[in-house]
């Protein structure tokens, strides 16, 4: 008998702090953050930092990634950062963001809401740590 064991990468306190700090710094830089969250992707057993912004629709994802990279490069070297390679930018009207808006709205503050093992309109969210959904 073969037993398959799925090992889930933990969302660390450093990752949580880094996501909050990046969201704040993007706000300070004038980047329109409609949503920011860590999302667990079960297919790859990894976490992605997702940023939803209308800037993706109006200026394109390449521009959005450049803005994020610029903000990251201005952070102190000793500060834990969200790696750009672990970041995904989506339109603020992306289906995932729209789905999350059904379940909650945080306002413009940087919150910290763990959202685990939930189903919204038939779509399962295995795990997420939500800073903002507006």
Q: What digits encode the pLDDT tens for the residues 29-41?
A: 999 999 999 999 9
Residue 8: inside a domain: no
Count structural domains, the chain: 1
Rounded to an integer, what distance in angstroms lies between the CA atom of residue 72 and that of residue 3? 42
At 1 the pLDDT is 54
Angle at 12 between CA 61 and CA 53, to 5 degrees: 20
Burial (Cβ within 10 Å: 0-12, 13-18, ≥19) of residue 132: buried
Rounded to an integer, what distance in angstroms lies between the CA atom of residue 127 and that of residue 7? 14
Residue 4: inside a domain: no
Rounded to an integer, what distance in angstroms lies between the CA atom of residue 86 and that of residue 70? 16
Residue 3: inside a domain: no
Task: Report, as ranges of residue numbers, the positions in the chain whose pLDDT lies below 50.
Answer: 3-6
């Amino acid at each position: 008998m073969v037993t398959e064991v799925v090992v889930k990468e933990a969302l660390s306190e450093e990752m949580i702090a880094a996501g909050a700090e990046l969201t704040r710094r993007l706000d300070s830089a004038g980047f329109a953050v409609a949503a920011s969250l860590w999302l667990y992707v079960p297919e790859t057993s990894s976490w992605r930092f997702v940023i939803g912004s209308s800037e993706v629709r109006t200026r394109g994802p390449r521009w959005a990634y450049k803005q994020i990279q610029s903000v990251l490069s201005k952070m102190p070297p000793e500060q834990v950062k969200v790696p750009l390679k672990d970041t995904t930018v989506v339109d603020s009207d992306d289906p995932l963001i729209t789905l999350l808006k059904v379940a909650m709205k945080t306002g413009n503050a940087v919150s910290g809401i763990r959202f685990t093992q939930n189903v919204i309109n038939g779509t399962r969210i295995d795990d997420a740590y939500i800073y903002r959904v507006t």
